[in-house]
Every structure is written in structure tokens, then in C-alpha cells.
Structure 1
């Protein structure tokens, strides 16, 4: 069942990405010969609206084949106003950007749905207090539930950290303990900590850790729009920074996961809950959008760079340069895929 869920989720994400390209291309009058989910041998196809819609043997991606665009033939020229290579560079950039944009929009829709159905977060309940910390000296105890800090109502554990780090003075904590509301004034201290990339940082803290309790937060439609926007921006920024840290060597290459890891994550999420499945699908959709915008030849971001070069220099890159850079792009992508699969296999044997 997990494998089927993985293939369905991945196919939907790929379909939405390629649909973005397709709709933008058709908007500018470009003929789309093929819309494919998967690569390799064709399993099923249907002609509709002048396009061959097909499912292919290897369901790990997809593509739209437009008139006048072929990475294997950079010098290809197909005449007619319905040809991709005859469109203005800014129009081609919009067609290229539409795929990643569709993934960001899909993620926003999924996050909106999560907000309406009920987003699960860590409860603002204290599970552990560090010895001699500001929290202990102030009198906080385990199982205390923080309901407000100063004038900010607290509903999730994440809000506690955000409120503490965004202020510079002592804070007034309103705590629910045994059905009583108590108040404590706590002055956070700056201590050593780690961010999500395991980098050493200095952070304002009071010395508490969460209890293993979840709380479900339901949002109104207006609140859900704000939640969806914030989560899409937050996850996009996290992935962009993750790629940056990977290039800098801060995140080791052993952390790269391949298709096996993605499949396991989706499978585990589907077994956990429908909300968890929506959340991981949204994150993978953002990931797909971000990675496709990287300036690597053979990806949308690489082609966007070629078109920006044409806008700036008023001439296209030579066919030879285009071909070599595209081959380099495929080599980079192939290497990353093999590294991901290698890491996946390593993890399986290490667990075994």
C-alpha cells in the first residue's frame, strides 16, 4: 500500500509541475506535442487538444515536449509562431518558471487544507526543565502549560521559542497548573544551541523542553490563507538554505536521500494520518519547485539562465556551449541521484 501511495503522490506532484509548463506554453500559443507522466516506454496514451497525454514505464518524473524545444538538439529550429524557440526570451522564462510555480501553489493549497482540517503541533506543555535555568529559578514545573507570554496568546510550542527570541527584556509567563492560572516573570539567558542544520548558534532561552503531547489547531478560512502562505515561504526558505549548506559542506553529503527515502517518508506519513500525508506532500512539492529553480543546465533554472543571458547579450548561447552545459547538468543530476540511492542503501544495511 505504501508503494502505491508513493507512486500516486509522486505522479500528482509531477503532473502539477508539468501542467504549469503546459498551461503557460498554451497561453503563449506554443504547440505541446507530448505531456508525459514518467519516462521511457509508453504504457498508455490518448490524443486530446492536440497533445498526446501519456503514462510511461518509469514513474519517477515527467516532461512536456514542446515544438521547438529539445535538449538533445539545441540547434533545433522549428518554424511557426507556435514554436517555443520562436518565442521571446521573457515568454520562455515564464513558461519555464510556471512549472516550479505550480508546485509552490500546490503546496499552498495543501497547507491551506491542513489548516482547515486541523494542523497538529507540539503542545505548549513543559516536559523537562534544565537545572539552574531561568525557568527553574522562576518556579516553572513539568506539566505546566504556557498559555500566554506578555500579550501573545500561546497555542503551540513553536510560538514559545519565537516569542522568546523576538524580545530582549524579561517576559511575563501565564501558566496553567492544576486548573489554576499562575504568572511568572522570567529573564531569558543567551546560551549555546543548534539550528536545524546543526550549526552552533547563540540563542535566548529559559531552559525548558516540550512534553510529548500534540495539539490540533483549527483555522478559519482567512487564518488558513495566512497559515498556507507562511508555511510555503518557511519551507521554501528552509530548502534553499539546506541546498546552500550542502554546497558549503555544513551538511554532509551522506544526508542526501534518494527515491527510496522519499518513498519511505511518504509511506510512513500515509500510515500515520491523512494530515501527515498532506504535510509531507506539501514539503516535497516545495522541494520539487526549489530544486527545479537551481541554475543547473537541464533543469528549469538552467534554461532560465540561458534566456537571461540572451536578454542581456541579445544573442543565444552557441549550440556547442549549450550542449556541453546541458550534458554537464545531466551529469550533476545523475550523480546526485546515484548518491541518494547509495545513501538509501547504506541506511538500509546499517539498520539491518
Structure 2
């Protein structure tokens, strides 16, 4: 039962963000069509997120806003966009096909332009705010752990593994997980004295925490944890899956 729960949890973590991002891109795209159509006086009949059967909807003004069953796209239905439909004379001012060609062109182009604008704002925000990247400083190293027996101490900062410089915890994890039963030479900086120390430790086989991976086993050094974020990224249990 726990395996089933873990599978769906991992699947949600993997697939969930994809659909959230896709939904956001769809919304921004359709919002571009919608906003420019309203600006030029075109009556928008439907604003839909998704295709197929409507699972939620409400109407405000002339427009029905809805969420549909298939979340792989969206659409904006405008009055007068069917060339075979007859439009009364008094309604032509609200009809898409009765607008000047430059207005129709602007309405069609607004969707892709909104996506480009949104991407620019998003990446600019990421560049300004940045992203917190876990460092290579260790958290508490349990005295009875394999990591402590190898020579690691609480607060050590791992600077290199087998001569290759490491700057993030992900790089440390990757090298350890890919080195089952292979000795690794660590160069660490002591937290108390600032002195450099060399440590050799051999990762033992451990269960892969990623149940979606094709690799059943990965290397681990029990007791090796990430400073201040061990519960999230490192391993707080010496018998855990990976360090």
C-alpha cells in the first residue's frame, strides 16, 4: 500500500507541475486573444480552459467562462467567427469577421505575443530573484554513522570529489550515487579551523529513493546530510536511501 501511495505521490510531483505550467501558458495565451477582442468591441461568447465537456462554468456579461475536461489547450469563441452564419445588421459591430482586417490580425496575433511577453517577465523575475541552491556544507554528522567513521565532521564543506570541484549538494549526491563500491576521495574544509582535510569513503549500495528511476540501487554514505536542510534534501536517518 505504501508503494502505491509513494508511486502516486512521485507521479503527482512529476506530472503536476507540468499541467500547472501548461495551464498557465494556455491561460495567458487565451487571455491575449480575449483582451484584444474586447478592446476592439468583439463580443466574446466563450473563454474556455481545456477542450471537450465543460466541468465548471459561469457566465458574466456576454461571456461564458468555463473549465473543460481535456486540459491540453483552450479557446476563445467570438461572435461572428463563422463565415457561414448570418449576422444581423445591428450585430455586425460585435462580429469578429466584420471588423477591419488589421483588428482581426491583432486579435489573432495577441495570443502568441502574450506568451512571449509572459516568458520575458518570468525569466526576468527569475534572473532578479535568483534561485537558492543548497551548498556543499554538511549538517550534523552522527558520531556512530559511517560518515563519521570515515572522518566527516559536522559543518564540513565538501570542496571536491576525486579532484572534481563541487559547488552544489546535487553534484555531491550525483557523484556518491554513481559510485557504488567505488572509493571516493573527498577534500573538505573544516568548519572550526578552516583547515583542509582529505577523506576517503566508499559508498555502499542503497535503495534508490526515486521509484520512477530504472536504477534500483544507488551509492550512499549513511550519516552524510545537508546543512540546515537535511530533512528536505539530505538524509536524517543513517539507514536512509541516499545521501
Query: Where on the TM-score scale, by shorter chain, does this alignment land: which range?
Result: 0.3 to 0.5
More helix by share: 1
Structure number with bigger Rg: 2
Report the TM-score, using the length of structure 1 for normalisation: 0.33
- In the superposition, the TM-score normalised over structure 2's length comes to 0.47
